[in-house]
A and B are shown apart, each in its own frame.
Chain A
Amino acid sequence: MHGGGILGPERVLWYRDASPQSFYPLAGKMVPWFSCLAAALGLAGVYVAYFVAPGDPQQGDLYRIAFMHVPAGLMSIFIFLMMAFWSAMGLIRNGRIAGMMATALAPTGAMFTFLALWTGALWAKPTLGTWWMWDARLASKLLLLFLYIAFMALQAAIEDARRADRAGAMVVLAGVMNVPIIYFSVQWWNTLHEDALDNLGGPAAMPEPVLWGLVLIVLAFWMYSLAVSLSRVRCVILERERHAEWVAREIRRQG
């Protein structure tokens, strides 16, 4: 069964019950590729966003915050969905890697959620007159940040890795219902965020370079997330499997 070719590491696990020992070097090989892709897409995206895309008739150059705000917001949701996937996999198949991937993704997701909130506030102040408002989109996004933090805090508090993974999985799977709320909140409720979107127009209305800038930077953030979380999962593997012989060999090889 082909486990979703676009997602990266998922592909591996469908073919065999992969062990941390076999996943460790595989992840290591993928990191440089994703890093280079992230850098290339990021540079291209920044160039298009800041040197090609024209100013907005209403908001001038302020709208360029969108090139950080939108990708960060999308990644914060996407990463949480990936954590939900890995958490479910960990519970169903009881393998070790699934839990490790969920653990490895969390800090990156939290970072992007914070970034979305921060850039959103900076964008809102001059246009909508306020740094913050308790509307549906903002509140549910803040809740997402709290869920990430709760996940990480819970895992840090539990010594046994398996139990930590299970506890984290509970948080993520309970919290995943927040994701459609975040996404559809601007349609379901009358929100501050909705007014902002109206000002900017949809993909059909925006100039081509703006669309391209957004696409490139979203892809760059995605490649970055893959590179960073695969790097981090290698750290998690070393930490959790530190009593294994292959880890000792790896350490001796490194040092």
Chain B
Amino acid sequence: MIWNSWGEFANMGGYALYVWGSCFVALGAMGAEVVLLIFRRRNILDHLGRFVGMKSRAGAEPSAPERGSNPGALPQRKASARR
């Protein structure tokens, strides 16, 4: 262990602001990215879940597998966020 105390570790030889300023932003950025991704996935599952629910309630036949890359118009929805 190269540090004599936790205090020294926190102090980073006087450069605490710069080193910890970098550390926290790094961890924060990566953490935020992961959290945003979790939200994104949850949003998609919610929106599509409602859409799938609508289709099955309407008694519609499930659509045949399409190439699917053209979003097309969704029934009576505001333009959903693609991201």
A interface residues, Cβ below 8 angstroms from B:
20-21, 50-55, 60-62, 64-65, 68-69, 72, 96, 107-108, 111, 114-115, 118-119, 122-123, 125-126, 156, 159-162, 224, 228, 231-232, 234-235, 238-248, 251-252, 254-255
| Interchain residue pairs A-B with the least CB separation, the first 3 | A61-B13, A60-B13, A62-B15
B12 → chain A, closest Cβ, in Å? 4
B3: which A residues are within 8 A, CB to CB? Answer: 51
Could you tell me if B66 and A244 are in contact, using CB atoms closer than 8 angstroms?
yes
* Other contacts beyond A123-B18, A243-B71: 9, CB < 8 A: A20-B68, A60-B15, A61-B14, A64-B19, A69-B22, A96-B67, A160-B69, A162-B69, A241-B69
Which of the residues B40, B49, B69 comes within 8 Å of A240, measured between beta carbons? B69
Q: Check A111/B33 contact, CB under 8 A, given A118-B25, A161-B71.
A: yes
Q: Check A245/B15 contact, CB under 8 A, given A51-B1, A119-B22, A240-B68.
A: no
Could you tell me if A54 and B68 are in contact, using CB atoms closer than 8 angstroms?
no
Could you tell me if B22 and A54 are in contact, using CB atoms closer than 8 angstroms?
no
The DSSP consensus for interface residues of chain B is helix
Task: For chain B, give the interface size range.
Answer: 35 or more
Closest to A238 in B: B44
Q: Check A122/B71 contact, CB under 8 A, given A108-B33, A248-B55.
A: no
A238: which B residues are within 8 A, CB to CB? Answer: 41, 44-45, 48
Instruction: Tell me, in angstroms, the Cα distance from A242 to B55 when the chains sit together.
Output: 13
A115: which B residues are within 8 A, CB to CB? Answer: 25-26, 29
B2: which A residues are within 8 A, CB to CB? Answer: 51-55
The answer, yes or no, to whether B64 is at the interface (CB within 8 Å) is yes
Which of the residues A54, A126, A159 comes within 8 Å of B18, measured between beta carbons? A126
B interface residues, Cβ below 8 angstroms from A:
1-3, 9, 12-15, 17-19, 21-23, 25-26, 29-30, 33-34, 37, 40-41, 44-45, 48-49, 51-52, 55, 62-72, 82-83
A232: which B residues are within 8 A, CB to CB? Answer: 37, 40
Could you tell me if B68 and A119 are in contact, using CB atoms closer than 8 angstroms?
no
A52: which B residues are within 8 A, CB to CB? Answer: 2
Could you tell me if A68 and B70 are in contact, using CB atoms closer than 8 angstroms?
no
Instruction: Tell me, in angstroms, the Cα distance from A161 to B71 when the chains sit together.
Output: 8
Supply 29 A–B pairs (Cβ within 8 Å), ascending by A: A21-B65, A51-B3, A53-B2, A60-B12, A60-B15, A62-B18, A65-B18, A69-B22, A96-B67, A111-B30, A115-B25, A118-B22, A119-B22, A119-B26, A122-B17, A123-B22, A228-B37, A231-B41, A242-B48, A242-B71, A244-B63, A245-B62, A245-B63, A248-B52, A248-B55, A248-B62, A251-B45, A254-B45, A254-B49
